[in-house]
Each structure stands twice: as structure tokens, then as C-alpha cells.
Amino acid sequence: MSERSNAGRPGGNSRKVFIKTYGCQMNVYDSQRMGDALAKDGYEPTEAIENADLVLINTCHIREKAAEKIYSELGRIRVLKAERAARGESMQVGITGCVAQAEGAEIIQRAPVVDLVVGPQTYHRLPEALSRVALGEKVVDTEYAVEDKFTHLPKQEARQIARRGVTAFLTVQEGCDKFCTFCVVPYTRGAEVSRPRADIVLEARRLADAGVRELTLLGQNVNAWLGEDAGGAETGLAGLLYELAEIPGIARLRYTTSHPRDMDEALIEAHRDLPSLMPYLHLPVQSGSDRILKAMNRRHRAADYLFLLDKIRDARPDMALSGDFIVGFPGETDADFEATMQLVRQVGYAQAYSFKYSPRPGTPGATMEDHVREEVKTERLERLQKLLREQQEAFQKSFVGKVTDVLIEKPGRHAGQAVGRSPFLLPVVVPVDAGQIGDIVSVTISQSLANSLMAEGAEAQPVASQDRSDPLTRPEIRSFA
Ligand code: 5AD
Ligand code: SF4
């Protein structure tokens, strides 16, 4: 879970907004952009929910647990709203994101504390919706807007970008046409839409001008991005990456999340030819069993995935792989699960996410036969996670004694330390005199910790458990595909 809020307009009335973000990085990005829209409307961010005139919960619907959390959160907010009302202060409460899209007006029926329900496609209409709420209306806006929300959202201001740091997300694509049978995304985020190249390049330049050094392009199916190059010819994600790599100041590029079917030759070649394209790829496979892959409508076999990885590793031998796995999809037998374990052993992941299958209303998987018993799911998940943990540990340990580049992102938890990331997305604790925030420095790794590495010279201070609250490392949902 993370909380993001955004700087307000200086002067003006000082209404305060508290934004809480659940789910993937696309939600983090959306929350920032909503914050930008509200800042223009006079809202200042607050980290203290009890002081907020407006509370927005940007939600995730990917698994049942993620969606249910919202309702327990709303129970707490109801108490805070009543306390504010007793002091003669108001609190408007809005639900945004994928639960808003999926459940719409039902949310207000179930939790009358909610004043506003806005789906992911209409954030640019948030200020207008809020003025209706101020008049006492309950507002539900979950249409798929015909206008492009990105062009209607205000531009991010340099000081806001700078406050957010030297790494930035940039949504380039939204929605999904793949219809994996377990997944709600095609229903909550709609059909695949790519943002135009020129808009993306413009936003990337603004980010770079404000000091951003690393860009992560986001999309539920980011490698399905399609656009036109400067000459009007059709181009895929690779073409976009080559163009972004030319922007002065941008030293690192990443993208997430990708579908194996959309990893085209040009993109694989970009990994060989573009030094700023980082050697870390989140490429979910979900299962190692062909039978289950078919039932999931993934439209490839396990062997196709392995063949693809061979090609990727030919192009970029040091590529670190990450993935998502679902255990206990309907009909999954012991043999199917063993096929997943076998695939994981064959691939050797640097890091991966794994989940128990959670039936989502409205998806084909929910009405399939042979649902797997909870105890079986739990046992399989434990075995898979143990294997993935071992692989992660081995991956991290392979850096001890070696030199690696680190982009310094922020001060560390302890005096004398700063924290950054290696090209493989591993957090690295470096000595504070290694460089400034935004510098890329070469350090020698002395130690592998639970979820991070320690560079030589940084060990002087005792290190507490590492930062799991960062959206890129937290074990919550971080990707779709
Ligand atoms: N149950 C469990 N996990 C799911 N995911 C998506 N839908 C479900 C579901 N119904 C997982 C997939 C996806 C990641 C973001 O969440 O592994 O890649
Ligand atoms: Fe689309 Fe990914 Fe969901 Fe499949 S898992 S439907 S590719 S978002």
C-alpha cells in the first residue's frame, strides 16, 4: 500500500486531500495525476487523513482480498467523517480505480459514507464531479470517456516532479484485449488504448527537464503499445524506447507489464542495442502447464515462453527475469502444478509474484468447474514461494564481491547511507558520499540482505529491514499481463 498526494496551488483556499493508493504502478501514476488535477483546483496534499476535506481511495479489483480491503477501510473512514462532522467540518469521500469501475453505484449502497465513485477513464472530470458533491449530490462516473483523459489532465509541474524524485512512471498504454479467463482487467480498464507517441515524448521531456533520470513506461499490456513514429510509420514499443533514449538526462528506461505474445523481434533487439534499456524484464507466464495455459486463454504454450526467453537471453545475456504465477486455477492437478515448478526451475527468476487463484465475478474462470480446494492452493503456493525465494536469494548473492551501477534515489534510513537501485531493480544501500541523488555510481557489493544489497562502505550503520513500502518492491500487485 502506498499513499501519494500532490502539492497544492500556493495561496487559494486550502482544502486538503488525502489520497491512498492500492494496487499496481498504474494506480500510483493515476493518483499522482489526480493529485495534479486537484492541485489546480486548490487542494493541498495531506498525509493526515483526519485533516482531509477530501479522501480518495484509488482501488484495485484484481483479487477478492484487494477489493474487500476497501470496505474495511471505509468502515474506519466513516468514523473519521462523523468526528469531523461533530466539529462542524465536512469530509468528502471518493472511490476511484478498478473497484469503482467494477462496482459503480453498488459501492454507495454498501457504504453510504462514499460520496463519489469515479472510474479510471474519467479522472480529468474529478473537479467537476466534486463540485456536484459539494451541492449534496452523490456522483457516479464510470463511463468510458470518449475524450482522452491524459490530454485533459493538467501537466505535471516541475516542482511536483522534483518532489517525486529521480525515477518516474509514465503510463503509455491502458486496457487489455487479451481476456485471460482469470482476469478482471479487460472489464475494469477496458480495451487496449495506446497514448500517442508525441504526448508521451512531451511528458518524458518534461520529466527529464525536472531531473528525472529513470523512466518506467507503464501499461497493463505495455508491449502491445502501438503508435506512429515521427515520419508517420507504424511503430511498436521498441520504436518508442529508441526515441525516449535520445532525451537528454534519461539514463535508464524500463517498461512493465508485458505479455509474452507481444514480445516482438524489434523489442528483443532493443534489449541488445539500447544501453539505457535496463536488463530486467517482468514477463508473467502464470503457469507452466499447457493445459492450464489453454484454460487461462494465455494463447501460448510453456515451450513458447521458454523459447522466447532463450531469444531474449541471446540478445541480453544478463537479463534478469521476473514473473507472475497463479496457483490453483480451476482444474489444476498436481501434475499441472509440478509443470509450473519445473518451469520455474528451468527459468531461474530474479524475483517473482505468486498468488492463489481468486475467482472474480464476471470472468470465465469464476464459472469453470473443478475449483481447487483452499488447502491445496495454500500448500502449492507455499511450495512455489519457497522455490522463488531461493532463486531470489541466489540471484542477490551472485552480486556479492562484484561491481554494479546504482542510480542514487534517496537518503537511506540511517545516517551515512543513501539508497538506489541496480540495473536489475535491486535496492542497494550505498555510502552517502558515493554521490548525489540522481547520480549513477559504481559500487562494490559487500552483502546481500533480505530484499536489498549493501555496498562497501555503507555497512558502518546497522541496517533495519529494508524498504518494502516502495511500489516497485512491495509484495502487493504490481503488474498486469
Ligand atoms: N486470481 C489470482 N491472481 C490473479 N492475477 C490476476 N487475476 C487474478 C486472479 N483472479 C494475478 C496475475 C497477474 C497479476 C497482476 O495478478 O498473476 O499477472
Ligand atoms: Fe490482460 Fe494481463 Fe489480465 Fe491477461 S492477465 S487479461 S494479459 S491484464
pLDDT tens digits, 78-94: 999 999 999 999 999 99
Mutate to test the pocket of ligand 2, among 24, 63, 176, 283 (most ligand atoms within 8 A of CB): 176
Q: What pLDDT sits at residue 91?
A: 96
Nearest atom within ligand 2 for CA of residue 324: 5
Query: Annotated binding site for [4Fe-4S] cluster: which residue ranges?
Result: 24, 60, 98, 176, 180, 183
Q: What SS3 class is residue 446?
A: strand
How confident is the model over 441-468, as pLDDT tens digits? 999 999 999 999 999 999 865 444 444 3
Angle at 47 between CA 41 and CA 49, to 5 degrees: 85
Q: What pLDDT sits at residue 264?
A: 97
Q: Where residue 410 falls among pLDDT bands split at 50, 70, 90?
A: very high
Q: What is the pTM of this model?
A: 0.90
Q: How many CA atoms are closer than 13 Å to the CA of 291, on its beta-carbon side?
A: 12
Q: What pLDDT sits at residue 153?
A: 75
Q: What pLDDT sits at residue 460?
A: 61
Q: What pLDDT sits at residue 226?
A: 97
For residue 183, how far is its CA from the centre of ligand 2 (angstroms)? 6
Task: Please state the length of the chain.
Answer: 481
Burial of 233 (0-12, 13-18, 19+ CB in 10 A): exposed
Q: Mean of the pLDDT values across residues 389-394?
A: 98
Q: What pLDDT sits at residue 145?
A: 67
Burial of 362 (0-12, 13-18, 19+ CB in 10 A): exposed
How confident is the model over 10-49, as pLDDT tens digits? 444 589 999 999 999 999 999 999 998 899 889 999 999 9
**Closest ligand to the CA of 189:** 2
Q: What pLDDT sits at residue 160?
A: 75
Tell me how far apart the alpha carbons of residues 413 and 236 are, in angstroms, rounded to a whole number: 40
**Closest ligand to the CA of 187:** 2
Closest to 403 (Cα-Cα) out of 453, 439, 465: 453
How confident is the model over 92-145, as pLDDT tens digits? 999 999 999 999 999 999 999 999 999 998 888 899 999 999 999 999 999 876
Q: 476 vs 214, which has greater pLDDT? A: 214
Residue 162 has pLDDT above 90, yes or no: no
How confident is the model over 341-353, as pLDDT tens digits? 999 999 999 999 9
**Closest ligand to the CA of 352:** 1
Residue 147 has pLDDT above 80, yes or no: no
The reply to whether ligand 1 has any atom less than 6 angstroms from the CB of 63 is: yes
Tell me how far apart the alpha carbons of residues 164 and 4 are, in angstroms, rounded to a whole number: 9
Residue 471 has pLDDT above 70, yes or no: no
Nearest atom within ligand 2 for CA of residue 257: 2
For residue 149, how far is its CA from the centre of ligand 2 (angstroms)? 22
Q: Which of 153-167, 249-263, 273-287, 379-393 has the lowest mean pLDDT?
A: 153-167
Q: What pLDDT sits at residue 146?
A: 58
Domains of the chain, with CATH numbers? Answer: 3-145 (3.40.50.12160), 149-395 (3.80.30.20), 403-462 (2.40.50.140)
Nearest atom within ligand 2 for CA of residue 298: 4
How confident is the model over 168-208, as pLDDT tens digits? 999 999 999 999 999 999 999 899 999 999 999 999 999 99
